[in-house]
Amino acid sequence: MTDFDKRHTCWRELITERMRWNMDSWSNVISCTISDLELDRRFDATHGKEEGVPFTLWTWDWVYFSHEYDGADLCLCVRRNPEEK
């Protein structure tokens, strides 16, 4: 694996990783604001400037969205419905 491969990812990979943490999956997707092509476009998510296309993706239990912090592209999420916890 090259340094390029280690730094470059796509939204689909970042979302999938976050979904695993939530025990969620792509089969639960209700809607997404970007296309499959944009989900799979590779970019350097580690530093510099925001490179990934902003998105919001809804599943039955979660809302996933893009976030840029200190030049890094991140996938964050929140529950769709409030919980008492």
Amino acid at 65: F
Output the pLDDT for position 49: 65
CA dist., res. 85 & res. 67, Å (int): 24
pLDDT at 14 (0 to 100): 95
Q: Where are the domains of the chain?
A: 3-71
Give dist(CA 40, CA 25) in Å, integer: 16
Cα gap 32→55, rounded to integer Å: 7
Give the tens place of pLDDT for each residue, 67-80.
988 878 899 999 99
3-state secondary structure of 23: coil
pTM of the model as a whole: 0.85
Give 16-70 pLDDT, tens digit per residue.
999 999 999 999 999 999 999 999 999 887 766 667 889 999 999 999 999 988 8
